[in-house]
Amino acid sequence: MSRLIKQAAVLALATVLTGCATSPTGRSQFMLISPEAAIVESETAYLSTVGELDREGKLVTDPELVGRIARITGRLVTVAEQTFPASRDWQWSVAIIDDPDTVNAWCMAGGRMAVYTGLIEQLQLTDDELAQIMGHEISHALANHTAERMSRAIATSIGVVAVGVAADNSATAMAGAALVANVALTLPNSRTAETEADSIGMELATRAGYDPEAAVTLWQKMGSLSDKRPPEVHSTHPEPDNRQAALERQIPAMLTLNPDRTKAPVTEIDMVL
């Protein structure tokens, strides 16, 4: 590695370590990568994931279920775009994954989502409860939590890159960069980010016309399932009992936002079939 390249790498590392941002709730965020860059990386990961699922025949095409998910998510997207104008340029899409054993849903930066059939079937979700969980996942994207996770991956691998630079070992430096790409999008959200997404998601779902009390019944069901076997939620998630209590305290304020449960218009989104 030439001296010029080493100096450039060290400068890049120093520059990366200066990032910061503020979440929609006013929380200071550790941000070493821009939300725009996170969207680009998420798109690549998403297309790769759904492409593999398509080849395996695991994408649900049942018109009734597809229509239900499109309707609920489309209302949430309408409210998201009204509240967070930057998201109007996102490529909103949802893949329904045929996996009855997996209790999970997620939303990457840029609005690319997935929901597993196990989530709906095992928990017997109502539309209101499904809106709460999809609102929660959408909120992770709106609050730039993907970029935060990628920043954590950079922070954990930055030492590897720095060692490679200092030791004049380009292979080690490249390994650090690869670690960022491979690990960033699979890291769990922090407990703080989960709590933040709970609040933002509850508001999204309420404004979209869904019952805020469903946020509590959702986590009652999730807690009941956890007694039998852990669902696809990470240890960084708040305990279900604590989560229920926190959400329940927010219900009175939520009820004032849309007391008549007026349903938001449905924004057309791409259903990945």
- Which of 81, 129, 137, 148 is the catalytic position? 137
User: Is 137 an annotated catalytic residue?
Assistant: yes
User: Residue 191: its pLDDT value, please?
Assistant: 76
Per-residue pLDDT of the chain (273 residues; tens, 9 = 90+): 444 334 434 434 444 444 567 878 777 777 777 888 889 888 988 999 999 999 999 999 999 999 999 999 999 999 999 999 999 999 999 999 999 999 999 999 999 999 999 999 999 999 999 999 999 999 999 999 888 887 777 766 554 444 444 444 444 444 444 444 445 555 566 778 888 999 999 999 999 999 999 999 998 898 887 655 454 444 445 666 777 888 999 999 999 999 999 999 999 999 999
Residue 211 region by backbone torsions, left for phi larger than 0, else alpha for psi between -120 and 50, else beta: beta
User: Residue 154: its pLDDT value, please?
Assistant: 72
- 3-state DSSP assignment of residue 266: coil
CA distances from 197 to 147, 161, 189, 206, 265 (A): 14, 32, 10, 14, 22
User: Residue 175: its pLDDT value, please?
Assistant: 45
Mean of all residue pLDDT scores within the chain: 81
DSSP 164-207: HHHTT-HHHHHHHHHHHHHHGGGSPPPHHHHHHHHHHHHHHHHH
User: Residue 126: its pLDDT value, please?
Assistant: 97
pLDDT digits (tens, 9 = 90+) for 171-224: 444 444 444 444 555 556 677 888 899 999 999 999 999 999 999 999 889 888
pLDDT digits (tens, 9 = 90+) for 169-183: 444 444 444 444 445
**CA 3/CA 5 separation, integer angstroms:** 6
pLDDT digits (tens, 9 = 90+) for 120-141: 999 999 999 999 999 999 999 9
